[in-house]
Structure 1
Amino acid sequence: MDFAELYWEHQAVLLGEEQAKALPRVSVDELFGAVVSCCEDFCRGGRQKVRFYSDDQELDLLGGGHQRLLPARRDGSFAAYNARLMDLEGLPNYALVVADWHQFNRALWERILSAVQGLAAVVGISHARMDTQVFLGTYKTTPFGVHVDRTSGFHFPVAGTKTMRFWPDRFAQATPELRGALRYERYLEQSTALSARPGQVLYWPSSDWHVAESDGEFSVTWGFGYWLGDGMTSLALEALAQLLMETPGRCRAVPRSALVEEARELREVDTLVDKLARLSADPRLRAAVARGWLEHFSACGYLRPPPLLEHGGAAGAVTLKSMYNLLAAPEAGGAMRVAAGGYSTTVADEPAVWDAIAVLNAGGELPVRADDGAVGRMIDFCLRAGALQLRPDQT
């Protein structure tokens, strides 16, 4: 509670090891495997956000054939990866940024979810999104300069020292030449700098403009971001646009001679606006937004959860993992949608399913039986979503 009252969205702060105990811990070796997996998926054409900079210039990793500059399993560690880039590739000033690496290590993601539950209980779950990032390299300043992210950020150095310099939003707005600057020496007096070493945590609010600094020492930092904004509105607009594209329509030819009259009456514009009004009341729009809402909040705001798990149908009993909640809502046609761990499915809307969800959310235990109908299908889905833990049958 003290952190939320004193610092949350108020000011940047360095949290010492004692203050940071409640926040997640990820080792440099654990992080290496997840980052490599994310980079591998990126090279296979996955929709990952991986950026590499050399001397402050971003390289085209895929189109430019620079995949060799990414960490690989053969490196074995971040330290060995850095040595390869320095010694074999001759890159003394580089930066690698990898987003959403948590998708590739469910155990680490669940560790993060569990640790931020206390924060979410005070400030709520992000309505925009939660994400993870890794920043590593020997870069002396952030290669894209002084910038702002509309996210409350937590950064955890795991190798080397992480230094961040901050400016208040009011100063950056009044000083446009600061925004994006790589050279900002004349504005140092208006800034504040904080440095963290492994075991400590840097936090700053979404309004702070910032840039990373170093003396060229190799460092690895991971972070998670609590984005500010209304992602639910974006979700509704995307769903409405999809419905609009799926609704048949026909372009009407308008002769040049008739354009003046058309401009006066705007009949075609009114037709489109009427169409949008009808679609906004379409039950399919509500269903699409409801599905997104359920999935979003079942994953504590993370839009990109790890993939579903395989489940072999073992017998036993299940309980809900402490970092999850099961969410459900009725759907049309006698169905209900159940969400867990960022995914959702539909099962028959039966009282027994609602009762089973209530038992699990309250910390209770349920048996797993293959012939359990809608309840069994709900439990099987939640196991694949990673939200339940199985106690195998001992008989």
Structure 2
Amino acid sequence: MAQKSSRSTSKPALLNEKFWSTFAKSHWEKKPLLVRNVKSDLLQMSADEIFDLLVLYADRCRDLNDPEGFKFFIDGAKADQEEVLQVLPERDDKSLLGYHERMESEFSDYCLVCDELLQVNLKKQQYLTEFTDALYRHVGFPNRFSEMGLYLGNYKKTPFGVHVDSCGVFSFPVAGVKKFRLWPAAYGDKHPELDRTFSYEKHKKHSQLLEVGPGDMTYWPSSEWHIAESDGSFSATWSLGVWVDQPHKDVFSETLKALIDTKMGSVGEKVTTSFKTLHSQNGEVSELPKEYRDSIELLKNLSPSELEEAFLQSWTKHISLQGFKTMPHTEVKIAPKSKIQLRNDHSMILWQQSLTNKKMYAFSFGGVQIQSTSAGLLKLIKALNTGKALVPGDFLKGATLKNDIQSLQALANAGAIQKV
């Protein structure tokens, strides 16, 4: 049975502390949830807002002649890259519905998927980060990432059939009615024939059907088998997928490997290992080659401070992305007399003091790391993190000025800073 209720009579659902506490206890990675009439700033991401994002990213793809991040399906078949570039939304479509009318005139069954909407400027980005910040406080910070995706079209079923992902999904319809059919993990495990199928009539009685429209929110765990259904009417839905497929042991070992790689130097690049004897006449192996013994000594000589700093840098870099796969970059030119501030008060420049030397490390949106011993630059970063608009030249002076401006420019290129 589909979960339904009247939007006109249902009370607004507040995504407050009580909601998230209950969600974490009863639903996160346990069972699906449907919430009607959600009251959240996140709902300001309307159909018009989504259309603007879609066109911005489509324009970028056309400029690069590369539709990466977009997928287009015709009657369930995936189009090739050249075809995708021909069917992307355009400003002249004026709206999601306008784009649909253009596509419907050519295709009786189509689906456009975009997985990279956060690569372009998101005017209401702070509402998305407020949502995820509240979620992460209650369920933990994802070891991998979250990503924003969009599905729109008149397709009758998800083009790749019944499937299961490695992410928990929050779904927000912005146009039309969306139906999601779900099966719990245990049922999917017992019925592997569900995987990628479009023929599941005999399994329907064991499923749950969620019917949602604009203003609603639904969630299902990463282990839930699912497929979207439609009668062929137009719908557009954006979703937030929180990937939960990277265990702590993998994150820990990757960081340790990176540290060891830097310590080993050229020895770590050797592709053969010298030896005296491989084994004794009776087959016993009792002696390690010199390279192994030297590497063990290297591990033994790592100081607690070196280890802590390596993991602290890895953690800071990871959380600087705020839990997302990508964040929008910007193009601004920073000069000593520029008046600058954080692009988003909810996106601080993260920094840490080295535990092994006098350097300061600062991070912005994952991929950007700067190193500096400039007291003026650190003072400026701290001041920017208060939300003030400032002039770099008031903080940066003397011999380090050029390097400090270059560091600020790197942070600005990553999207941390804007001109006022």
Relative to the length of structure 2, the TM-score reads 0.75
| CA distance 1:45–1:360, shift in 2 (3 Å) | same
User: Which residue number corresponds to residue 329 of structure 1?
Assistant: 352
1:302 shift after superposition: 1.2
Within the alignment, does 1:211 sit opposite 2:211 as a pair? no
Q: Distance in 2 between matches of 1:237 and 1:5?
A: 32
Question: What is the correspondence of 1:131-210 to structure 2 with a 5 Å cutoff?
Answer: 131-210=147-226
Q: Verify the 8 A CA contact 1:24 1:115 in the aligned structure 2.
A: no
Q: Distance in 1 between matches of 2:321 and 2:167?
A: 18
Q: Verify the 8 A CA contact 1:310 1:384 in the aligned structure 2.
A: yes
Within the alignment, does 1:72 sit opposite 2:83 as a pair? no
1:387 shift after superposition: 3.6
Q: Verify the 8 A CA contact 1:232 1:293 in the aligned structure 2.
A: no
Within the alignment, does 1:11 sit opposite 2:27 as a pair? no
1:161 shift after superposition: 0.9
Question: What is the correspondence of 1:280-291 to structure 2 with a 5 Å cutoff?
Answer: 291=313
Question: What is the correspondence of 1:243-254 to structure 2 with a 5 Å cutoff?
Answer: 243=261, 247-251=268-272
Q: What do residues 210-263 of structure 1 show as CA deviations (whole Å, max 9, x unaligned)? A: 11111110111111122213377656666748959984324589xxxx99999x
Question: What is the correspondence of 1:96-111 to structure 2 with a 5 Å cutoff?
Answer: 96-111=112-127
Q: Distance in 2 between matches of 1:337 and 1:174?
A: 50
Q: Distance in 1 between matches of 2:291 and 2:109?
A: 53
| CA distance 1:235–1:40, shift in 2 (3 Å) | farther
| CA distance 1:192–1:101, shift in 2 (3 Å) | same
Q: Distance in 1 between matches of 2:184 and 2:60?
A: 37
User: Which residue number corresponds to residue 318 of structure 2?
Assistant: 296
1:5 shift after superposition: 3.5
Q: Distance in 1 between matches of 2:311 and 2:329?
A: 21
Moved more, 304-313 or 143-152: 304-313
Q: What do residues 252-279 of structure 1 show as CA deviations (whole Å, max 9, x unaligned)? A: 89xxxx99999x6789997897798688
| CA distance 1:265–1:218, shift in 2 (3 Å) | farther
Q: What do residues 104-151 of structure 1 show as CA deviations (whole Å, max 9, x unaligned)? A: 123243431134322233223322101010001111111111112222
Q: CA RMSD in A?
A: 4.0
| CA distance 1:40–1:279, shift in 2 (3 Å) | farther
2:87 partner letter = L
Q: Distance in 2 between matches of 1:265 and 1:25?
A: 70
Q: Distance in 1 between matches of 2:103 and 2:367?
A: 39
Question: What is the correspondence of 1:106-125 to structure 2 with a 5 Å cutoff?
Answer: 106-125=122-141
User: Which residue number corresponds to residue 372 of structure 1?
Assistant: 395
Q: Distance in 2 between matches of 1:245 and 1:265?
A: 31
Gaps of 5+ in 2: 1-16
Q: Distance in 2 between matches of 1:100 and 1:74?
A: 22
Local SS of the residue matching 2:172: strand
1:24 shift after superposition: 4.6
Q: Percent identity?
A: 27
| CA distance 1:109–1:317, shift in 2 (3 Å) | closer
Q: Distance in 1 between matches of 2:415 and 2:84?
A: 35
Q: Verify the 8 A CA contact 2:66 2:81 in the aligned structure 1.
A: no
Give 1:33's match in structure 2, choosing from 48, 52, 59. Answer: 52
User: Which residue number corresponds to residue 93 of structure 1?
Assistant: 109
Question: What is the correspondence of 1:227-238 to structure 2 with a 5 Å cutoff?
Answer: 227-230=243-246
Q: Verify the 8 A CA contact 1:336 1:349 in the aligned structure 2.
A: yes
Gaps of 5+ in 1: none
Local SS of the residue matching 2:238: strand
Q: Distance in 1 between matches of 2:290 and 2:69?
A: 40
| CA distance 1:72–1:139, shift in 2 (3 Å) | same
| CA distance 1:188–1:321, shift in 2 (3 Å) | same
Local SS of the residue matching 1:180: coil
Q: Distance in 1 between matches of 2:96 and 2:343?
A: 35
Q: Verify the 8 A CA contact 2:156 2:231 in the aligned structure 1.
A: yes
User: Which residue number corresponds to residue 338 of structure 1?
Assistant: 362
Q: Distance in 2 between matches of 1:151 and 1:354?
A: 37
| CA distance 1:345–1:193, shift in 2 (3 Å) | same
Q: Distance in 2 between matches of 1:317 and 1:78?
A: 35
Moved more, 296-305 or 71-80: 71-80
